[in-house]
Structure 1
Amino acid sequence: MKKKISNQFFAHYLVVLFLVFLATVLAVLLLSFASQLASNTFAKNKYPASAIMQDDYKQIDAAPIVQNGGSVQVIDKEYRVVLSEGEDAIPQKQLTAGEFTNFLVRSKSKDTPFHHDILYNPQGEFWLIVTFPASIRIDFAFTMNNKAANGDFGKAALIFGAVIVVYLLLLAALTAIYSKITASQITVPLRKLCDGTRLLREGDYSARVELRLKNEFAELQNTFNDMAARIEREISLRKKSEEDRRRLILDISHDLKNPMSSIQGYAERLCQKSDMSEQERDGYLQIIHQNSQRANRLLTELFELSQMDSPEFSLKREKTDLCEALRQLCGELVPQLERAGFEYEFNIPEESVFVLLDSERFSRIIQNLASNTLRYNGQGTTVTVSLTVENNQAMIDFGDDGIGIPAHLTHDIFKPFVRVDDSRNSETGGSGLGLSIAKKIVEAHGGDLTLFKGSDKGCTFRITIPKI
């Protein structure tokens, strides 16, 4: 059975309640001790009226009392002030019986700022009054007399017990309120965090927690929200990856199915028709050979693409003059461009630009870009290749003024099996893997391959490689 935090807080505060009550008892004992200690240190207790009392009031020595800030008065049986030393506690020289009685009553009041010690001398028939200003008064005493009336004792005990009960109830109520307030400062944020966690568990990855606090719970809130955002992002990427994987499998199946079906169909035809002519047989064999080459090329590029995704994939990079390497590759492209009826413009600086390059892999990039240009564009298209250096980066722009790339494909053009020809026509001969392979090779060089929209016609691919 789980225990609620609020109940645990209340149990803890009950312990605090007991400790407060215990502290109160100790405080009472300390007050009693302090009262006793004060009685031994205050001047009023060092010089009581009994210490200076004489039967003849004229022989009373009031000097020590006056020196310590006190005063001495003697009242005779006629209520006259016959002796006064120090500050007058009774300013009148003659009192009535009523006035003297009122003075005696007031002298015992806790509200008076003076302490009066009054003693009667029966032989001299006078009252000796010793007065000291009250610096601080600590009055606490617990008295019980067995001779008191039974009813009074019971009433006093009932009142005292009621005071204790009310005091304890008040402490308990304040403890309960305080424990609830304190517990809510913890339980409310925890409940919100639990609700957010439950939503995440149930698949709502957009769940967030808003506590509006500035303590440790705020840090926990930020951690939870960051975690939820990361999970949401990971789930989104996973779903996208699954969709890409399914699409990739469908594309591979489709691109392999056509040539394999063609190979199977023509092979069956060759097996079934034994009386076909030599010319017809050679035609079938040529088709079978072309489709087998197409399937083999697709499988080879798939294998190459998977190799590049492997952590073991690495380049054999050497310090190379990029300008010279690019000139050689462009020279190799010229015959292909001329056979296709393409125009070309090369703008390559004469000065050297050195980079770390895997020449064989880099040539594959240029070949793939050129192959796409030749495959999808018609005669009269102009191919341009230029090299510039900016911010320690060598930038190669490979462009054309042909049909361009549709806007809906610009963001996905480097994904596997994405082709401008949506019909996946075998006449184009493309696998849809060339740009994916090219981009991974450039990234392995520490650069990037992007589709650069430099003009309204055709398209331009920009290769960026760090210069050394």
Structure 2
Amino acid sequence: MLVIKLKEIIKRYLRGIWGIEILVLVILIGFLTISYVKEFNRQNTPGVFDSLFNEQKFIKDTIYSETEEIANMIYYLSNNLKYIEDYDVDKKIEAKVYGESLKNTYKYAILNKTTGNIITSDYGLEEFYGPNYGLIDSEDVLRYLKNRGFANIMIDNVDTFNSYINSDIKYVEKEGLSNYEEFYYTYPEGYKELIREKAITAKLMIVTTIISILLFFKLLINIVTNGKEVNLKINTVHRLFYVLRYGFKYKYTRNKLVTAIVAAFIVIVSYLYLVASIRNQNLLLTLLTRYPFKGTLFIVLIPLLCIVYTVKKTLDIAMINEGLKKLNDGNLDYDIDDIGQKEVKELVDNINQIKDGYKIAVNEKVKNEKLKTELISNVSHDLKTPLTSIINYVNILKDPNITEDERLDYLDILEKKSLKLKGLIEDLFEVSKLNSGKMILNKSDVDIIALVHQGVGEYSSLYEEKNIEFKVSSKEDELVINLDGKLMSRVFENIIINALKYSLDNTRVYINITNKDNELEIDFKNISNYEMNFNEEEIFERFERADQSRNSAVEGSGIGLAIARSIVELHNGNIKIDVEGDMFKLYIKIPK
């Protein structure tokens, strides 16, 4: 199982692009660029690759570079070798060299090619040639150096010059130098540790180069073949900035961060004071003592990251706790940020979902209270108006002085008012029944096109004075669907009557029936005879009327659309309204 999981992780890594590897690649390229530029632009200094592939050249380059100080002393005291053979000058040079730190490291020998005379700090060379000391040449010197096992460089002052001359910004006359050859030498054993360190650097550069090339081609291949699998988020960097951004805001995390920073500072100071001066042949200690700042950073970084990780856990809890306090104070619009690890994100997500559910419940309760108040007010008004008329006309009928014709007229009015009151009460009970969930649908196969035509034919004769024309269109002659025909007929009745009431005179009402793959859509469009400034959702509420006036000359209870929506929703459909200028559009969608 572990092997399979590991294979999946490796496969997922190879098939994606990750922010951390891009960061690593940038760092590696930066490191390699600096290293290679320094390597190829070096002058008179040893190269790290020579320490790995050509030790002899590395040693010679090192001798050449590090003998600049000796050459400087010699040239300064001898006036550029003009007085090098003067006894007093020779002693001054010898005393000066032996008084410096290089006295036990490098030796020099300066040979006059024309006379065979030699000036040297090496008594062994004088003893080696004895009586022939003033009659030797460069081959003799090189033979001595080879016999004694010295690593050396030879400066002929014709084609090659010492590092002092090559690096000095001042001009040195080279004409007289051609009479002399310079030898600088030392024992090669002293370079073993340096060669080992530089070889490690060379190997590191080679390995880093290989890793960078592989990483580059891996990214390039994934960009070309799998550009969608990109995850540029770097969790470690993200967490670090996250802690630094929010860590000082909260008491508990602030204390831990301050403690961590103080502890890190103490470690750095202690290390620099106690350790930075220690010299040891151990590679790790050598690295740390030679590069105290880098070594200190390396040592401090690991525990510091551990502390930051611990602080982040506390920080997550502190932020969640603060968010809960805001929610508890009634700020239901506040969302807790889901910044954190998987468990924290799940916790925050659950809290936000609970908050959203609570917010919806509160809003629904407020809305229901508002609707309840409006319902009582509207029902009272709509019931009171015809009831008041009935009471008034009943009182009039009690008057013995009215004529028979007047009595008949008043009875006719009473009948209309009574029927209106009855219809209103029936509508109210029907809405209550529909919303209670107790309504049982009596479904059967119904031709919806015929049902629409039936509604238009039955009610289009109402409000004849308005001259409203209905246009029903459909690509099919018959569309049979399983639904409650009686209730759906009531839907079309309410919509058609509303269209007649609120359409502009001498206009058309368009009804379009569309048969789609999984649903049936019926669209109603008409031109309104008033300015439509209502809310499309609120118009479906009970006793809400489009003309916003309960004293409108147009009769209506404001319950028709509420009934229509309830019936459509019972059929698992939906109904919505769209207003565009004076165009009123109503869409009904019923699943097949």
- Normalising by the residue count of structure 1, what TM-score does the alignment of the two structures yield? 0.54
Distance 1:315 1:339, change over 3 A: farther
The equivalent residue for 2:105 is none
The equivalent residue for 2:519 is 393
- Aligned-residue sequence identity (percent) comes to 29
Write the deviation string for residues 144-165 of structure 1: whole angstroms up to 9, x where unpaired: xxxxxxxxxxxxxxxxxxxxxx
Equivalents in 1 of 2:430, 2:392: separation in Å? 29
Give the superposition deviation at 1:431. 0.4
Matched position secondary structure for 1:408: coil
Matched position secondary structure for 2:537: coil
The equivalent residue for 1:362 is 488
Give the superposition deviation at 1:308. 0.8
The equivalent residue for 1:466 is 591
CA contact (8 A) 2:473 2:512 kept: yes
Which amino acid is the alignment partner of residue 457 of structure 2? Answer: G
Which amino acid is the alignment partner of residue 390 of structure 1? Answer: K
Question: Does 1:216 find its partner at 2:369?
Answer: no
Matched position secondary structure for 1:391: coil
Write the deviation string for residues 345-387 of structure 1: whole angstroms up to 9, x where unpaired: 2223444322112111111111111111222235422122221
Question: Does 1:226 find its partner at 2:346?
Answer: no
Distance 1:268 1:459, change over 3 A: same
The equivalent residue for 1:203 is 330
After superposition, where does 1:23-422 map in structure 2 within 5 Å? 189-190=316-317, 192-210=319-337, 212-214=339-341, 216-271=343-398, 273-336=399-462, 340-403=466-529, 406-422=532-548
Distance 1:187 1:400, change over 3 A: closer
Which amino acid is the alignment partner of residue 410 of structure 2? Answer: Y
Equivalents in 2 of 1:303, 1:328: separation in Å? 25
Which amino acid is the alignment partner of residue 244 of structure 1? Answer: L
- Normalising by the residue count of structure 2, what TM-score does the alignment of the two structures yield? 0.44
CA contact (8 A) 2:524 2:587 kept: yes
Write the deviation string for residues 181-230 of structure 1: whole angstroms up to 9, x where unpaired: 99977766555545544444443333444474315344322222221222
CA contact (8 A) 2:468 2:503 kept: no
Higher Rg: 1
Distance 1:397 1:279, change over 3 A: same
CA contact (8 A) 2:521 2:589 kept: yes
The equivalent residue for 1:110 is none
CA contact (8 A) 1:270 1:284 kept: yes
Distance 1:347 1:333, change over 3 A: farther
Q: Which moved more, 1:225-234 or 1:197-206?
A: 197-206
Distance 1:349 1:276, change over 3 A: same
Equivalents in 1 of 2:457, 2:338: separation in Å? 67
Equivalents in 2 of 1:319, 1:248: separation in Å? 36
Distance 1:393 1:279, change over 3 A: same
Distance 1:270 1:399, change over 3 A: same
Equivalents in 1 of 2:338, 2:572: separation in Å? 44
Count of aligned residue pairs for this structure pair: 289
Matched position secondary structure for 2:333: coil
Which amino acid is the alignment partner of residue 418 of structure 2? Answer: S
The equivalent residue for 1:64 is none
CA contact (8 A) 2:470 2:509 kept: yes
Equivalents in 1 of 2:531, 2:524: separation in Å? 14
Give the superposition deviation at 1:289. 2.5
CA contact (8 A) 1:345 1:382 kept: yes
Equivalents in 2 of 1:377, 1:270: separation in Å? 38
The equivalent residue for 1:35 is none
CA contact (8 A) 2:534 2:546 kept: no
CA contact (8 A) 1:266 1:284 kept: yes
Give the superposition deviation at 1:406. 0.5
Give the superposition deviation at 1:316. 1.0
Equivalents in 2 of 1:315, 1:214: separation in Å? 51
Give the superposition deviation at 1:266. 2.8
CA contact (8 A) 2:456 2:496 kept: no
Equivalents in 2 of 1:382, 1:346: separation in Å? 10
Equivalents in 2 of 1:287, 1:331: separation in Å? 27
Which amino acid is the alignment partner of residue 295 of structure 1? Answer: L
Distance 1:351 1:423, change over 3 A: closer
Matched position secondary structure for 2:381: helix
Matched position secondary structure for 1:413: helix
Distance 1:211 1:382, change over 3 A: closer
The equivalent residue for 2:104 is none
The equivalent residue for 2:555 is 429
Equivalents in 2 of 1:447, 1:215: separation in Å? 39
Equivalents in 1 of 2:505, 2:334: separation in Å? 57
Write the deviation string for residues 437-467 of structure 1: whole angstroms up to 9, x where unpaired: 11111121222222245x7543232222223
Q: Which runs of 5+ in 1 are unaligned?
A: 1-179
Give the superposition deviation at 1:241. 2.2
CA contact (8 A) 2:320 2:348 kept: yes
CA contact (8 A) 2:571 2:590 kept: yes
Matched position secondary structure for 2:539: coil
Equivalents in 2 of 1:426, 1:293: separation in Å? 19
Distance 1:340 1:213, change over 3 A: closer
CA contact (8 A) 2:468 2:508 kept: yes
CA contact (8 A) 2:510 2:525 kept: yes
Question: Does 1:442 find its partner at 2:562?
Answer: no
Which amino acid is the alignment partner of residue 261 of structure 1? Answer: T
CA contact (8 A) 2:509 2:525 kept: yes
CA contact (8 A) 1:405 1:459 kept: no
Equivalents in 1 of 2:566, 2:572: separation in Å? 10
Equivalents in 2 of 1:182, 1:457: separation in Å? 62
Write the deviation string for residues 52-100 of structure 1: whole angstroms up to 9, x where unpaired: xxxxxxxxxxxxxxxxxxxxxxxxxxxxxxxxxxxxxxxxxxxxxxxxx
Distance 1:383 1:212, change over 3 A: closer
RMSD: 3.2
Which amino acid is the alignment partner of residue 355 of structure 1? Answer: I
